[in-house]
Amino acid sequence: MDLTGGRLNVIAEEGEQQDFSRQSSTMEAYRAVPEPGERTFQRFSVNTNESLRFEPCEDSCPSPTGAEDGHDDVFDKGEYEDEIISIRNQLQGKVTEMENFAGHLEEIFLTVEENFGRREQHLEQHYNDVLQTLSQRYDERASGLQEEKKAKLESLYSQLLVCGQALDASKELIETAQEIYRCQDKRLFLKTVMPTIKRVEEFAKEDVDLALSTGLEFSTPIADLSDVKTMMDSINIVPAPSAPVINPQLPNSATQTSLHVCWSLFSDDTVEYYELYYRPVLEDVSAENTFAPQESKIKVKETHCTVTDLLPNAQYELWVTATNTTGISPASEKALYMTVPSPPVIKQRECSSCPEAALIRWESGNTNPVDSYTVELSETGTGGAKSNITESIVAVPTCQCMIQLQAGRHYLIFVRAVNVGGPSDRSEPISISTTGTFFYLLEDTAHPCLSMSEDGFTIFYGDEELPITAMAFEDNTFTRCVAILGDLIPVRGRHYWEVEVDDETEFRVGVAYKDADRDSYLGANNSSWCMRHIRTPSRHKYEFLHNGWSPDLRITAHPLRIGVALDYDRGTLSFFNANLEQHLHTFHCHFQNYVHPCFSLDNPGALTLHNGIAAPDYAFI
């Protein structure tokens, strides 16, 4: 905005000195200090959740625009309202974009943290495995050396025993030879010397192995550390990831043409990227049909992805694989997601209202069924200004809803369809006024000879008679009486409408039960009540018929606009000459069920319905 005035520069300078906190979306300003001859005004606050609020100064001062108009506010009311709202919406849009971007960065940060944690755990696991393998090799080598040492010592000990035995035998022979040599008795000498010599010769013949039976050096075999080397090399070789797991669809995670899909990896695998596959689910495709919908693929690095360009309210089958430098994981289990439904279509001519309520009917507008519907309504002013307050009726299971309203108000009503993906966009609105009772005619009940105007409130009975064979009768159409029913809202209370006719038309106007006999005239049975006009050569005759009987009444002023007042609580059905505000007749009956307005033409002519009008004071006296 471009504002003129001496104090704007002061405010701008003060605004530049303020500190903005990330935790607050409200900008508070200071009050400008006036100088002689200058104008002062109160700064305004901007809140992202509210409209701009301008606070007037306590001191009276002229407008900063220089106009001496006597107003104390900075701006004239509504002068810059559109521009302010536009700027606020732009700021809110920028805030939303920054919040989304910050959320995206946070998700990437978390993904990096998860990948780092998995990588760190992977390295630690490899380190522990290498240490465990080396420890096993050490234990095996130490055990082998211990066994070799034991074998060497046992061999040396055995050889030592043999040497000891040989020394003992040699010592014994030497001592025996010395004793024989010292012997003086020659006879004894000759007797013992020969055996001793024989023993010495035998001892000399024995081969004593004086070489060491074992080597002093220990064997040093080459250690087989190939598996350790493999493990060391595998530190740089990441194993192929396991299959991811797609999370179930979250509420409000879809639009009409997009799905936000998330998945998890329940392992310490390292993943470079994921590939998300999806295809629509066609329920009408038989098992024998070889045609299958084409699958699509998206490559992403995060554990989430938004799939776009989809069909509304359609079911999609999704699965995902994880890939790293080693290979591709198995595919995850397939998951089913649904896009948001298309907006419903309100059936204008099947909606009705009264001062206390409105009955809204609509079509789903979607091929696949939806979970529920939400009806939203907001009150509008007489000038069409829309209220900021919107009421909602949620979890509506069918395509119609009865809404309790306040009398004498105007409302805009919207409908949303809801499924697991979230709510649809709003439907086109329908405007409802609770000034009076409003309804359309039920075309499926009309006699084949009747035709209707484009707006649906005037019926015509043409001069040209149709043969019976050319008439298409349905189960719900009138066959004998050229009549049609109105779709009155099923609410007990008071209802009023008017019918406009000309003085040459013979007609029947009244009410009837929904199941009234279609092969009977209105008023000729116990399920209908009506006012009948008969044109005779001499006068206009009027009858008030129920079950074929009418009181004897004479009406002198021919009514061209007939008011019909139905009061369920008092059990009355009254007829009035609306132009003269004249009461014509009242039926007294306790209506067991809801009735419908009925209109019949007994000769060629036209009849126009006027409804949605306030009941006159005399109608329910």
576: closest CA among 539, 621, 514, 517? 621
Structure confidence by residue, pLDDT tens digits, 376-411: 999 987 666 666 678 999 999 999 999 999 999 999
378: closest CA among 362, 363, 393? 393
Residue-level pLDDT at 129: 80
Residue-level pLDDT at 297: 93
Instruction: Report yes or no: 472 and 448 within 8 Å, Cβ to Cβ.
Output: yes
Assign 138 to helix, strand or coil. helix
Ranges of beta strands (E only) in 267-340 are: 273-280, 296-300, 304-307, 315-323, 335-338
Structure confidence by residue, pLDDT tens digits, 517-542: 999 999 999 999 999 999 888 888 99
Q: Which residues pair with 299 in a beta bridge?
A: 275
245-282+294-338: CATH architecture: Sandwich (2.60)
Instruction: Report yes or no: 370 and 346 within 8 Å, Cβ to Cβ.
Output: no
Residue-level pLDDT at 534: 93
Q: What is the CATH number of domain 345-434?
A: 2.60.40.10
pLDDT < 50 regions, the chain: 1-75, 287
Q: Can you tell me the distance from the alpha carbon of 485 to that of 492, in angstroms, rounded to the nearest whole number? A: 18
**544: CB partners within 8 A, 6+ apart:** 523, 529, 530, 531, 532, 550, 551, 553, 575, 584, 585, 587
Q: Can you tell me the distance from the alpha carbon of 501 to that of 607, in angstroms, rounded to the nearest whole number? A: 5
For tokens 């003085």, the residue is 503
Q: Can you tell me the distance from the alpha carbon of 323 to that of 47, in angstroms, rounded to the nearest whole number? A: 47
* CA count, 13 A, side-chain hemisphere, 125: 13
User: 10 Å Cβ neighbour count for 342?
Assistant: 19
Q: What phi and psi values does residue 360 have, to the nearest 5 degrees?
A: -110, 130
Q: Can you tell me the distance from the alpha carbon of 256 to that of 456, in angstroms, rounded to the nearest whole number? A: 34
Residue-level pLDDT at 430: 95
Q: Given this chain, do its domains 245-282+294-338 and 345-434 carry the same CATH topology?
A: yes
* CA count, 13 A, side-chain hemisphere, 616: 17
User: 10 Å Cβ neighbour count for 131?
Assistant: 11
Q: At what angle do helices 186-205 and 81-182 cross, to 10 degrees?
A: 150
Q: Can you tell me the distance from the alpha carbon of 197 to that of 202, in angstroms, rounded to the nearest whole number? A: 9
Q: What is the CATH number of domain 441-610?
A: 2.60.120.920
DSSP letter for 45, please: B
Q: Can you tell me the distance from the alpha carbon of 427 to that of 425, in angstroms, rounded to the nearest whole number? A: 6
Assign 282 to helix, strand or coil. coil
Q: Could you tell me the residue ranges of all domains in the chain? A: 83-204, 245-282+294-338, 345-434, 441-610
Assign 608 to helix, strand or coil. strand
For tokens 């001793």, the residue is 196
Quote the distance between the C-alpha of residue 430 and its chain's center. 25
Residue-level pLDDT at 106: 83
What distance separates the 2 farthest-apart alpha carbons in the chain? 200
79: closest CA among 90, 65, 93, 89? 65
Assign 525 to helix, strand or coil. coil
313: closest CA among 248, 260, 367, 362? 367
DSSP letter for 480, please: S
List the helix and strand counts (H, then E) for the chain: 4, 29
Strand ordering across the sheet containing 273-280? 296-300, 273-280, 315-323, 335-338
Instruction: Report yes or no: 239 and 209 within 8 Å, Cβ to Cβ.
Output: no
Quote the distance between the C-alpha of residue 80 and its chain's center. 38
Global pTM exceeds 0.75: no
